[in-house]
Amino acid sequence: MGGKAKGNKWESDAAKQFSIWHGQEWKRVPASGALRWGNVSWTFGDLLPPVGVYACVEAKHWHDISIDEMLGTQREGSGGGQIVGWWTDQTVADAERASIEIGRHVEPFLLWKRDRVPARICMGWSFFLTAELSNKLPFMTVCFDPAKPGFVAVNFKEFLEALTPDMFTATILALGKSAKENP
């Protein structure tokens, strides 16, 4: 299976996993990116959450991501690896654009998977701490440049087991309220 096909399959699989966990349907965005779809006025990212869940989810499948790629030590002078680029340049940027377009906070999440290794989900520190996941999950933090948003990476399956759908949505809404109160 080629890279694009693996990416498409991972996006579909991730949408199914979120749907089973959430109890409402999550969809893979066809052709990924900003589209208009049904009663939803915006889509950013690779997965379309149910109405009322303000999350921007990017899903990436890479055949071989190493810890060096996570930490950014393979690309000299880059200030970060592939995952850092996906997080800062795509996931966070898309969530910020979505927030501006719909006038409310949209939380960024990055799902990534490599061949034969469990999937990981990356989230901002604020989400991780507000959802009180630090005492429930082993995690890895990444932040290279204080001017750019760092993130926390955890096992995707363990994330879904540690967090209820209601807690997920409530945390996003609480962060949105906090952002309005402390711009």
How far apart CA 110 and CA 124 sit, in angstroms, is 10
pLDDT digits (tens, 9 = 90+) for 77-106: 444 567 778 888 889 999 998 999 889 999
Helical (H) or strand (E) element with 157: helix 156-162
Contacts of 52 (CB under 8 A, 6+ apart): 169
pLDDT at 137: 84
Which among 169, 145, 161 has a CA at the least distance from the CA of 92? Answer: 145
Please give the model's pTM, rounded to 2 decimal places: 0.85
Higher pLDDT, 107 or 144: 107
Q: Is 108 helix (H, G, I), strand (E, B) or coil?
A: strand
User: Tokens standing for 98?
Assistant: 């979505």
Q: Which residue bears the tokens 């309005």?
A: 180
How far apart CA 162 and CA 152 sit, in angstroms, is 15
Domains defined for the chain, CATH in brackets = 3-181 (3.40.1350.10)
pLDDT digits (tens, 9 = 90+) for 131-154: 998 888 888 777 666 667 778 889
pLDDT digits (tens, 9 = 90+) for 27-75: 998 765 545 555 555 568 899 999 999 999 999 887 666 656 655 555 4
How far apart CA 46 and CA 9 sit, in angstroms, is 12
**Tally of CA atoms within 13 A in the half-sphere of 162 that contains its CB:** 17
How far apart CA 58 and CA 47 sit, in angstroms, is 7
